[in-house]
Amino acid sequence: MAQPHPPQGNQQNVTERPEKVYGEQYVDGQPLPVGAVIDPTFDGVPLFSDGQPRVSLPAGWVVLTLTDWVITNRYTGRAVEVISAEEFSERFNPG
């Protein structure tokens, strides 16, 4: 993950109030996370045919790799982002 940039101009270091989300990790031997599909179709036509799990996000389809986390909006149930295990630990684990 990239290092944070130092403040510039009048920027201040502020903490965003935590937003409650659901997170589910993609691991071997477990069901796919909510929102993940293999070989999605549109009107019966396959969009991809490579057998890789994907999550549809507002910015497009993201391929899941082992240990990735799918972050889901707790009110709508829709996936909002896919992040690595390292980023998940950095953002959501205290200490």
Give pLDDT, residue 31: 92
Determine, yes or no, domain membership for 16: no
Give pLDDT, residue 6: 65
Q: With contact defined as beta carbons under 8 Å apart, do 59 and 35 qualify?
A: no
CA distance linking residue 72 with residue 70, whole number of Å? 6
Determine, yes or no, domain membership for 3: no
Indicate the pLDDT class of residue 9, thresholds 50, 70 and 90. Answer: low
CA distance linking residue 9 with residue 26, whole number of Å? 41
Number of domains in the chain: 1
Determine, yes or no, domain membership for 27: yes
The CA distances from residue 20 to 14, 62, 76, in Å, are: 18, 22, 12
Neighbours of 74 (CB within 10 A): 10
pTM of the model: 0.76
Q: What domain range is 64 assigned to?
A: 21-87
Determine, yes or no, domain membership for 62: yes
Give pLDDT, residue 74: 83
Determine, yes or no, domain membership for 10: no
Indicate the pLDDT class of residue 25, thresholds 50, 70 and 90. Answer: very high
Does residue 37 or residue 1 have the better pLDDT? 37
Determine, yes or no, domain membership for 13: no
Pairing mode of beta strands 69-73, 21-25: antiparallel
Determine, yes or no, domain membership for 9: no
